[in-house]
């Protein structure tokens, strides 16, 4: 394989350096996946390293699948013996073989966030902890943080004996872990936490996997937390053939435990490490990269690097200062229509709107629906989070692991079978007193006191139903099992007979679940029920991203990491939104927000728009924020202010509003947020050839005797005068009073 002709100088150097620790600092769009795939291909084809000796870890199933497919194209079916997977999938695979050493059965369930919340609430109830004093969300986040940092419930309890609040959370943590084990279940954080525990408590098992994985590669290393770091460190300890790829400038997950020190301190952990920087960008136009470099250079806690490209500079970054968040949505919708009209090669899927929080999507949804612009939201309600899907998945989880009390409680009366909440609670209480699973109690239900004959008959019918599914589990496919559940339980029939408005779509969703299972059976090496449940539980939003669907993509900047689009709109670029209020007051938070901005900018390939609003509704109240500080960090010669062009489209969505102007009398500024029309006093209106009141509008070119040529970008009422924000070509941004400043229209 002639790697020199396929890779640039730095990429080639990274691909052929195999033995010993290696840090690849890969800037955005620098071809890191290409380097990793060719590196693995080189190891297998040119160095005759067995694929089974290589472990490659990514952060999403989508990335793992794409990498494996690309390696397969280069080396053929040999790659099938290699592990290319996420941290969680790798750990599940290990735990399925070894978890009995920790006292669990190998058919353990994996609890998602819903299951976790149900179990936490049970623990709080048993410990008499009110949700008004400590919320379940606070407890879940605190427990997750402890697991990420490899702190056991006993250690957490010991460290917080003198802190009343934390001590209460420690009690929940202790009981929660006990109940997880009783249910033969792990939550998402446990997958890595328990694998590290397994390695530390069983040296022979660790040595086996160290021998198995002589070469380890980790993508997106800047996003690793303490437990992931420790998992990799233990595996690499024997041979130190560890290659990590990442970009400290794209570390944006500190809020969920990612520790930037893992990548910044790699050379301290491995003193003999080789460091290679990939700075050649193959994604974005020159001006976009220059803007990204301008912003990120303001961070101090980073490795020095500078993205470069051989591509042309392209368009300048377009800025739009909207009157309101609604106007911001209209502007973006009009721009999409405008670009589609001017460029016949563009499609809706070429556009992405990135925002800081999911709540910002509502305005765009409203505007796009009215404008007939197809869109999809990444990070909204996931397919597997829908009620009907979770119901059937709970059946599958319980059939696979009858110790799973959480799933049992969900399905025992779904569809309705006359087993009420009070009956279920009696069963739960009896199970707790006997230290048994609920299903074991159901199998001998006659022993439970205070149940009526009718209760017992209903429960026996349910047990008989579940037992029939358990008998079928290993005899039929997963898709057939789902069909059997839907038909035998009457779940599908109940939906079809329902008069609820969404019943048809819910039936369609269940049909899609059957299709998903059938597709899994044809594509998976292991078509078992356990494997299907793992795949579904470990799926992420980005894994579901279909790049071929022709619709505008709406997503948070966090969700957009790893993706790219020809045209990107970064919305809500205001201090208080992006960066958030907390970032403005804390240095570390500000640096993370700046990295997030850098990620957003580098998603754009051809055109980048950054929009903000003078006023927007946040948590039900109107607020007014300044334009984001990050915009001021971009060189002035890289940006230009844009305006909303008058067109049939903009006329149709603004027909009840004035067209971007101030005027005398009854008309009101388009923002509709200024309570009274602007009415400057007569003595303050300039005379002669100066800018006339009726010509004041955003986008108007003006000339000032001292500051030169500029463009009006914002207009607001100030007492009896009008305040104009003007971007001057050579003097930057100035705020001037209309009645005082000598402005001429150009």
Q: Is 423 annotated as a binding residue?
A: no
CB atoms within 10 A of CB 576: 18
> Any known ligand binding at 692?
no
Q: Which of 668, 670, 741, 684 is nearest to 710 (CA)?
A: 741
Q: How far apart are CA 13 and CA 10, in angstroms?
A: 5
The catalytically annotated residue of 11, 224, 250, 670 is: 250
Q: Can 595 be counted among the known catalytic residues?
A: no
- Active-site entry in 33, 210, 428, 511: 33
Q: Name the DSSP class of 686.
A: P
Query: Active-site residue among 603, 605, 607, 616?
Result: 603
Let me know if 220 is a catalytic residue: yes
700 marked ligand binding residue: no
- As a whole number of Å, the end-to-end CA separation of the chain is 62
341 tagged catalytic: no
Cβ atoms of 32 and 603 within 8 Å: the answer is no
DSSP characters over 616-645? EEETTEEE--PBPHHHHTS-GGGEEE----
Distances in whole angstroms, Cα of residue 362 to Cα of each of 321, 358, 530, 559, 662? 19, 8, 38, 17, 28
Burial (Cβ within 10 Å: 0-12, 13-18, ≥19) of residue 318: middle
Residue 311 burial (C-beta neighbours within 10 Å; 0-12, 13-18, 19+): middle
Alpha carbon distances (Å) from 166 to 126, 134, 161: 17, 10, 8
**394 marked as binding residue:** no
Report which of 46, 5, 38, 177 is spatially closest to residue 102, judged by C-alpha positions: 177
**214 among annotated binding-site residues:** no
> Given 219, 327, 388, 574, which residue is catalytic?
219
Active-site residue (options: 115, 171, 190, 220):
220
39 closest CA partner among 25, 61, 54, 27: 54
Tell me whether residue 27 is annotated as binding: yes
Which parts of 343-472 fold into alpha helices (H)? Answer: 361-371, 387-400, 405-411, 421-434, 438-443, 453-472
Q: Are 434 and 444 in contact (CB under 8 A)?
A: no
Contact between 693 and 680 under an 8 Å Cβ cutoff? The reply is yes
d(CA 54, CA 241): 10
Pick the catalytic residue from 10, 32, 136, 147. Answer: 32
The Cα 595–Cα 612 span in angstroms is 19
194 is an active site residue? no
How crowded is the C-beta side of 65, counted as CA atoms within 13 Å? Answer: 10
211 annotated active-site? no
Question: Do the annotations mark residue 671 as ligand-binding?
Answer: no
**Is residue 410 among the annotated active site residues?**
no
- The verdict on whether residue 30 carries a ligand-binding annotation is yes
- Residues annotated within a binding site: 26-33
- Residues annotated within a binding site for ATP: 26-33
Q: Which residues are identified as catalytic?
A: 32-33, 219-220, 250, 603
């Amino acid at each position: 394989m002639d790697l020199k002709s396929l890779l640039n100088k730095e990429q080639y150097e990274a691909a052929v350096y195999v033995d010993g620790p290696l840090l690849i600092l890969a800037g955005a769009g620098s071809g890191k996946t290409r380097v990793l795939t060719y590196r693995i291909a080189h190891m297998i084809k040119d160095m005759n390293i067995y694929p089974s000796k290589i472990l490659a870890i990514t952060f999403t199933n989508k990335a793992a699948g794409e990498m494996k497919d690309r390696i397969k194209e280069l080396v053929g079916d040999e790659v099938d013996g290699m592990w290319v997977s996420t941290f969680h999938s790798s750990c599940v695979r290990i735990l399925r073989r070894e978890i009995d050493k920790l006292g669990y059965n190998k058919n353990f369930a994996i609890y998602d966030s819903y299951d976790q919340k149900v179990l936490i609430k049970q623990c709080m109830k048993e410990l008499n902890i009110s949700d008004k004093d400590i919320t379940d969300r606070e407890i879940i986040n605190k427990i997750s943080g402890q697991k990420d940092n490899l702190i056991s419930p006993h250690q957490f309890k010991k460290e917080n004996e003198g802190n009343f609040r934390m001590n209460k959370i420690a009690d929940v943590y202790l009981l929660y872990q006990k109940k997880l084990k009783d249910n033969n279940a792990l939550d998402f954080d446990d997958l890595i936490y328990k694998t590290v525990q397994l390695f530390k408590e069983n040296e022979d098992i660790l040595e086996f996997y160290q021998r198995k994985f002589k070469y380890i590669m980790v993508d997106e290393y800047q996003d690793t937390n303490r437990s992931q770091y420790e998992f990799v460190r233990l595996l690499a300890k024997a041979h130190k053939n560890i290659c990590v790829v990442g970009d400290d400038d794209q570390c944006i997950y500190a809020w969920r435990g990612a520790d930037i020190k893992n990548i910044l301190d790699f050379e301290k952990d491995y003193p003999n490490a080789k460091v290679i920087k990939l700075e050649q960008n193959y994604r974005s136009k020159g001006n976009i990269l220059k803007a990204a470099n301008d912003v990120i250079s303001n961070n101090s806690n980073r490795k020095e690097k500078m993205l470069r490209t051989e591509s042309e500079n392209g368009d300048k970054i377009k800025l739009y200062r909207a009157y309101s968040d609604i106007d911001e949505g209209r502007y973006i919708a009009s721009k999409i229509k405008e670009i589609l009209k001017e460029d016949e090669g563009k499609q809706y899927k070429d556009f992405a709107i990135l925002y800081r929080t999911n709540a910002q999507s509502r305005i765009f949804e409203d505007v796009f629906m009215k404008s007939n612009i197809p869109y999809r939201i990444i990070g909204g309600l996931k397919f597997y989070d829908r009620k009907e899907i979770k119901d059937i998945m709970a059946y599958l989880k319980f059939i696979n692991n009858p110790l799973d009390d959480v799933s049992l409680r969900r399905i025992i009366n779904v569809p309705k079978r006359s087993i009420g909440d009070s009956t279920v609670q009696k069963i739960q209480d009896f199970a707790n007193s006997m230290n048994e699973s609920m299903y074991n109690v159901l199998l001998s239900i006659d022993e439970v006191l205070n149940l009526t004959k009718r209760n017992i008959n209903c429960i026996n019918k349910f047990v008989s139903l579940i037992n029939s599914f358990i008998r079928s589990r290993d005899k039929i496919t997963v898709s057939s099992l789902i069909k059997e559940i839907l038909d035998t339980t009457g779940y599908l029939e109940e939906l079809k007979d329902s008069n609820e408005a969404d019943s048809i779509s819910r039936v369609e969703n269940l049909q899609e679940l059957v299709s998903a299972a059938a597709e899994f059976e044809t594509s998976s090496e292991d078509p078992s029920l356990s494997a299907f449940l793992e795949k579904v539980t470990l799926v992420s939003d980005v894994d579901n991203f279909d790049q071929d669907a022709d619709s505008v993509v709406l997503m948070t900047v966090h969700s957009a990491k790893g993706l790219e689009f020809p045209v990107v709109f970064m919305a809500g670029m205001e201090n208080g939104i992006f960066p958030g209020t907390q970032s403005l007051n804390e240095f570390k938070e500000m640096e993370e927000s700046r990295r997030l901005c850098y990620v957003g900018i580098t998603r754009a390939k051809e055109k980048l728009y950054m929009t903000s609003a003078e006023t927007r509704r946040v948590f039900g109240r109107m607020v007014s924020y300044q334009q984001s500080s990050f915009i001021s960090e971009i060189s002035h010669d890289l940006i230009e202010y844009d305006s909303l062009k008058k067109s049939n489209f903009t006329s149709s969505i603004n027909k009840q509003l004035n067209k971007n102007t101030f005027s005398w009398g009854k008309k009101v500024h388009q923002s509709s947020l200024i309570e009274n029309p602007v009415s400057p006093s007569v003595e303050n209106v300039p005379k002669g050839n100066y800018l006339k009141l009726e010509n004041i509008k955003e986008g108007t070119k003006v000339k000032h005797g001292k500051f030169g040529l500029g463009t009006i970008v914002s207009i607001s009422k100030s007492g009896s005068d009008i305040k104009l924000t003007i971007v001057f070509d050579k003097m930057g941004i100035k705020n001037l009073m209309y009645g005082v400043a000598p402005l001429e229209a150009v």
